[in-house]
Amino acid sequence: MTATTDGSTGATMPPRAAAASETVLTTPVAAGVQEAAAHAVRRATDFLLSQQDAEGWWKGDLETNVTMDAEDLLLRQFLGIPDEETTRAAALFIRGEQREDGTWATFYGGPGELSTTIEAYVALRLAGDAPDAPHMAKASAWVRARGGIAASRVFTRIWLALFGWWKWEDLPELPPELIWFPTWLPLNIYDFGCWARQTIVPLTIVSAKRPVRPAPFPLDELHTDPADPNPARPLAPATTWDGAFQRLDRALHAFRKVAPKRMRRAAMHTATRWIIERQENDGCWGGIQPPAVYSVIALHLMGYDLNHPVMRAGLESLDRFAVRREDGARMIEACQSPVWDTCLATIALADAGLPADHPQLVKAADWMLGEQIVRPGDWSVRRPGLPPGGWAFEFHNDNYPDIDDTAEVVLALRRVRHHDPERVDKAIGRGVRWNFGMQSKNGAWGAFDVDNTSPFPNRLPFCDFGEVIDPPSADVTAHVVEMLAVEGYSHDPRTRRGIEWLLAEQEPDGSWFGRWGVNYLYGTGSVVPALTAAGLPGSHPAIRRAVAWLESVQNDDGGWGEDLRSYHDARQWSGKGASTPSQTAWALMALLAAGERGSKAVERGVEWLAATQREDGSWDEPYFTGTGFPWDFSINYHLYRQVFPLTALGRYVHGEPFADKVRQEQPRAEAKGS
């Protein structure tokens, strides 16, 4: 194991050059699929056990794109605290991610992306790269050919406005008075998903203050016309939603000029208190990097100097998002995923046949039990009477536990024979009760909030990047339904409503959309095991349609893969892409749950996983199979390539998932009546 963050350990980031499909075939499959699978399970189990931290958790690197690294350098420049070593290491990583055409993409093998390329270019300028250097000239020419800075997204232009490279008056207005909107009023902060809410509140202060630091250099080379760097954007017709919100933004710009100063100051102070109240014990905000960055800027603008305890803790937390690579490069994680990785690793090892009382599983259970959140967070705004009991994704994020992690942690805990079963039952009871209470009115579950489905936030001119609301999704709902089934709630009316919603959401081709993983393979790989765990037979029409779809999109090499472009063009890309270990595993998990263990499709998929496994028991996967925002923000969870193949192969070797056996032998219903 190698150091990945300050004081933590994890798997080494694999070389970027080799794709999964290029892995050397190391396992002789001629000896039989079952034997090859069992051999792969043994090696994968040993490898995954070797990756556990001494405290009991697992955490793989969480790779996104270079905007995290670029914005880290811009933040340091804005605060006046750049340091040579950090800049050098960040620039080394950013240069290494540049494509041959001079651009930067947002996922492996993806196309160049304008805003990402602009931010990476500016970061390299901060690192001292000359604009006429070949790699820089190639990038700036590409940017100009696609409209320059004026065509970039709002968040990129905000960063540039901090240094006078863009005019604040040409950005959408974000009034700090938004913090006072009651929850019944459209566009109140709780209409936004928690990740957007945590970003927007500090940005209302930044937008009101409009700070400008001296620019260390001009950026004329990134404008199509340096003489007119801020061209006016055309207005959409007033009869359209876009046109209506554009005119609302113009009204807010006019209001800025007449807003009472005392009222505006009071709103900014309210926003400041809101930010500070949500700082986590380790100094971060929500366990994710973007809100932390903007919160630090906002508090600094409100007079908090860099030595203030709140600021010191915030800046120290940002350093913990850094991953040091063996070549000296420094990569910034947008987030860290220890709870998610640990529960998935526990499930994988248990389903692979590791004894339920294995010391490392018990240690993982102990760590997960200690991570349960027992105080209210922002979710309680919509559910004020609901007792807490969820789990979050990260090391420190007590304000925003999520429904998905809670369901999977319960599934993981049920696979472990713990020395204090009463403690486990009580924790699971709290988690089940909380998940039941977070059900949306349509019967399904979102990730963080209840009924976070307002149509208005996505219409704002400010919100031109990624999802800003948190509606229910098939993958989260499936994980909750599977957990409730294992806990003995298959026939509970609330569970049945979730099942009915899932059946109604099936696509015409038999697949399900994947909100938090790529994409239809993830959705289908989540839903089918949930439906069968809840009692639907493999002969059910919805299950048969899913099986037919999975068989139809299997690659010639026996694996499955899906490109992120399926979020843009489902007809062309749904279920299509280079085979990857994690996506192959999702397909196998669905097929095995549907009773297809002896099918040719399953055998070919198992053979592909066994054949592409590396000698040390791991798999390589440069492709991004995780989703932050569909298409806009993609994630390569470095542990996905280990936990999901092991889960699928373990279920192939050992038959039914361990969770199904628990459900059949000892249904539990501690949260009954919640």
Q: Would you please indicate which residues are annotated as catalytic (active-site) residues?
A: 404
Q: Which residue, 364, 282, 349, 305, is CA-closest to 59? A: 364
Distance CA 28, CA 89 (A): 42
Indicate the residue type of 510: G
Which of 338, 414, 409 lies closest to 657 in space, CA to CA?
Answer: 414
Q: For the beta carbon of residue 309, count every other beta carbon within 10 angstroms.
A: 9
**What does the alpha-carbon distance between residue 178 and residue 182 come to, in Å, rounded to a whole number?**
9
CA distance 30 to 198: 54
* CA 346 – CA 645 distance, rounded (Å): 13
Rounded distance between C-alpha atoms, residue 357 and residue 365, angstroms: 10
d(CA 490, CA 412): 18
Q: Please measure the distance between the N-terminal and C-terminal CA atoms of the chain and give it in whole angstroms.
A: 43
CB 561 within 8 A of CB 555: yes
C-alpha span between 583 and 508 (Å, rounded): 21
Residue of 338, 320, 344, 361 lying closest to 60 (CA atoms): 338
What is the Cα–Cα distance from 502 to 445, expressed in whole angstroms? 10
> 3-class SS at 460?
coil
- CA-to-CA dists, residue 572 to 139, 569, 576, angstroms: 29, 6, 8
d(CA 492, CA 439): 13
d(CA 674, CA 667) in angstroms, rounded, equals 17
Q: How far apart are CA 605 and CA 95, in angstroms?
A: 37
Answer left, alpha or beta for residue 128, where phi above 0 means left and psi between -120 and 50 means alpha: left
Return the amino acid letter for 380: S
Whether residue 20 contacts residue 612, with contact meaning beta carbons closer than 8 Å, is answered with yes
Report residue 344 as tokens. Answer: 């998935």
Q: What kind and span of H or E run contains 330?
A: strand 330-332
| Contact yes or no for 502/474 (Cβ under 8 A) | yes
Helix (H), strand (E) at residue 332? strand 330-332
Backbone dihedral region of 15: left (phi > 0), alpha (psi from -120 to 50 degrees) or beta? beta
Q: What angle do CA 191, 444, 411 make, to 5 degrees?
A: 115
SS3 state of residue 533: helix
Q: Give the orientation angle of helix 581-593 with respect to helix 520-533, to 10 degrees.
A: 30
